[in-house]
Amino acid sequence: MLTTDRIGGMVFLAFSLGYGYCTTLIPDYPGSEFEPVTAKTFPYLLSVLGCLVALCLLLAPTQQTTNTHVKKNTQPFNWYTTTALLVAMAVYGLIVEWLGFILATILFLIAGYRILGEKRIKVLLLASVPVVVIFWVFLTQVLDVYLTPGRVFDGLGG
């Protein structure tokens, strides 16, 4: 039986497989062939996890529902939110090289939370700044991944 969960699972599986293929195109740094963690490691993990989640959605048993239950739990697709998030992602892709990972990601998360309906400034800042800083520390200090500091700040720090 083809349900919305299975259709979503198929789309997510196709996306995860495409993402996994794109991770093979990430170039290795010279001398990193024998390192256990490279720039490809995290994208590979995301791709594998995405495939596993998609397979769970595809293989999970379907629930028998009545038409009234489906109508009650189904909401119309929110095109505004989806389009606004896609625009925010596109803008993030454009500004990350100029503003740097930390500032661009904080702005992207604040915009995303705002689009999803959060209006409290304190929550917006607490949900974005610590996450980005911890993620930046993990990527740069633990995984030794280079993240751009931003062209705007290149002139300030030398």
- How far lies 50's CA from each of 43, 57, 61, 129, 138, in Å? 10, 11, 19, 26, 21
Q: How confident is the model at residue 40, as a pLDDT?
A: 86
Residue 124: per-residue pLDDT: 93
User: Residues 47-65: what's their mean pLDDT?
Assistant: 85
Cα separation of the two ends of the chain: 61
pLDDT tens-digit series, residues 131-156: 999 999 988 888 778 887 888 777 66
Instruction: Dump pLDDT digits (tens) for 3-24.
Output: 777 888 899 999 999 999 999 8
In this prediction, residue 74 has a pLDDT band, given cuts at 50, 70 and 90, of low
Q: Which amino acid is at 50?
A: G
Neighbouring residues of 104: CB distance < 8 A, sequence distance ≥ 6: 92, 95, 96, 98, 150
Residue 70 in this model has a pLDDT that exceeds 60: no
pLDDT of residue 41: 87
The pLDDT value given to residue 72 = 58
Q: How far is CA 157 from CA 22, 89, 133, 152, 154, in A?
A: 34, 28, 19, 10, 6
Chain mean pLDDT for the chain: 85
Distances 45 to 3, 24, 39, 49 between C-alpha atoms, Å = 27, 12, 11, 6
For residue 108, pLDDT beyond 60: yes
